[in-house]
Amino acid sequence: MAASPALSAFRLPPLPTIREIIKLFKLRALKQLSQNFLLDLRLTDKIVRKAGNLTNAYVYEVGPGPGGITRSILNANVAELLVVEKDSRFIPGLQMLSDAAPGKLRIVHGDVLTYKIERAFPQSLKKKWEDDPPNIHIIGNLPFSVSTPLIIKWLENVSCRDGPFAYGRTQMTLTFQKEVAERLTANTGGKQRSRLSVMAQYLCNVQHILTIPGRAFVPKPEVDVGVVHFTPLTQPRIDQPFKLVEKVVQNVFQFRRKYCHRGLGMLFPEVQRLENTGKLLELADVDPTLRPCQLSVSHFKSLCDVYRKMCDADPHLFAYNFRDELQRNKRSKQKEGNKESFTL
Ligand code: SAM
């Protein structure tokens, strides 16, 4: 009788514990690289379970370090696991895991910020954007200083359907500082509602799936950690270029405690500010006295759609940056000041 898939599932053979690996290869966490390791395999199993069903999946793990999450992924019966690690000290320990899981673990010594994952997996895994997500998952516990810029880069990739999303709607499960996880998933009106909430939620279904107390890491970070799951949406909630949405959202949230018209005004040169802000809000049918955190994704959709039309009508508008105007005004005031003191 053929073995059932459950019975034939792959399990790693007995190995030294992660703590022993750390000792064996002298993998002291480097504070300047914000390295905090997960040593409890029950916890890494839980993170991996929360990522979804990984049977026969192709998984891209970012920043495997001493390999706790890596082991749990390998035990989830994946087809292949590709890990990208920047710190060469971890490569021999990962090599030991690769020997224990023949043909399953591919190790790259590199930087996730520049690694081209779109060429790494078989092209046959590609799915149409409207189809179910491909059987490719991204999983990682990276330093917070890397995970936040990386998610912004990947959200732009979602919008352009390139990078990891050249395969289709690739799912991601990533850790963040708990407050960042709360911002990513905050609802309209929520205390943590921010630029990140809108940027993530207009492109993805975003779920805060787990909170891990700081004490679960070695060494213990100052903060707790949130695990967030992202599934790109078949239809983005705002159908405009990423950079345009980013500009509108950034301008609104730069004055997060003021009425939204204050930040929106900064989209326009000073001479036309009042008139154009009024026009934008009126055409988008948005109440100027709403605070940034009270704006829903559909409010942002209307604002972006109208702003896009205004940019199409005035080719210089999109390039306008109020900070440049401030600098110019400051310089010309300084010049005036110099002239006056010279005349005196
Ligand atoms: N994932 C491991 C765990 O949970 O125990 C290690 C976590 S530690 C917070 C982050 C890991 O990401 C470290 O191994 C670090 O060297 C690696 N890392 C940091 N920046 C990276 C980058 N730009 N590219 C690849 N790896 C990176």
Query: Which CATH number goes with the domain that contains 38?
Result: 3.40.50.150
Give the model's pLDDT for residue 339. 66
By C-alpha distance, which of 217, 82, 175 is closest to 136? 82
Give the model's pLDDT for residue 165. 98
Label the pairing between strands 225-232 and 171-177.
antiparallel
CATH number of the domain within which 301 lies: 1.10.8.100
Please say if the pLDDT value at position 102 is more than 80.
yes
CA 204 / ligand 1 centre spacing (Å): 24
Assess whether 124 and 203 both reside in one domain. yes
- The response to whether residue 64 sits with its C-beta less than 6 Å from ligand 1 reads yes
Assess whether 115 and 220 both reside in one domain. yes
Give the model's pLDDT for residue 4. 46
pLDDT in tens, 229-278: 999 999 999 999 999 999 999 999 999 999 999 999 999 999 999 999 99
Assess whether 191 and 123 both reside in one domain. yes
Mean pLDDT value across the chain: 93
In a domain? residue 237: no
CA dist 271 and 227 (Å) reads: 46
In a domain? residue 136: yes
Q: Are 5 and 79 in contact (CB under 8 A)?
A: no
In a domain? residue 167: yes
Assess whether 186 and 285 both reside in one domain. no
Structural domain including 320 reads 242-327
In a domain? residue 52: yes
- The response to whether residue 155 sits with its C-beta less than 6 Å from ligand 1 reads no
Assess whether 80 and 141 both reside in one domain. yes
Number of domains, the chain:
2
Please say if the pLDDT value at position 101 is more than 50.
yes
Assess whether 178 and 272 both reside in one domain. no
Give the model's pLDDT for residue 6. 47
CA dist 325 and 99 (Å) reads: 59
Give the model's pLDDT for residue 216. 95
Which of 34, 72, 142, 180 for mutating ligand 1's site (highest number of atoms within 8 Å of CB)? 142
Please say if the pLDDT value at position 327 is more than 90.
no
Give the model's pLDDT for residue 45. 97
Assess whether 181 and 226 both reside in one domain. yes
Domain C-terminal end among 181, 213, 232: 232
Find all residues with CB under 8 Å of 256, minimum gap 6, and list them: 194, 291, 292, 293
Assess whether 174 and 150 both reside in one domain. yes
pLDDT in tens, 61-93: 999 999 999 999 999 999 999 999 999 999 999
Assess whether 70 and 197 both reside in one domain. yes
